[in-house]
Amino acid sequence: MNITIIHVGQMKESYFTEAVAEYEKRLSKFCTVKNIYIKEARIDDNNVSETEISSALELEAENILEALPPAAKCVNIALCIEGKLFSTEKLYDMINSARLDSKDLCFVIGGSRGLSEQVKSKCTYRMSMSPMTFPHHLARVMLLEQIYRCASIIQGSKYHK
Confidence of residue 135 (pLDDT cuts 50, 70, 90): confident
Mean pLDDT of the chain: 93
**pLDDT at 161 (0 to 100):** 63
pTM for this model (two decimals): 0.93
The mean pLDDT of 10-37, rounded to a whole number, is 95
In the chain, the percentage of residues whose pLDDT exceeds 90 is 80
∠ CA 95-135-116, nearest 5°, is: 70
Which candidate, 96, 109, 90, places its Cα nearest to that of 38?
A: 109
Sign of CA dihedral 44, 49, 50, 55: negative
Q: Which fold has domain 2-155?
A: Alpha/beta knot (3.40.1280)
What is the residue extent of each domain of the chain? 2-155
CA distance 156 to 137: 29
Task: Please give the Cα distance from 20 to 32 (Å, whole number).
Answer: 14
121 closest CA partner among 76, 62, 87:
76
Least confident of 115-119, 140-144, 154-158: 154-158
| pLDDT of res. 43 | 84
160 pLDDT more than 70: no
pLDDT tens digits for range 100-127? 999 999 999 999 899 999 999 999 999 9
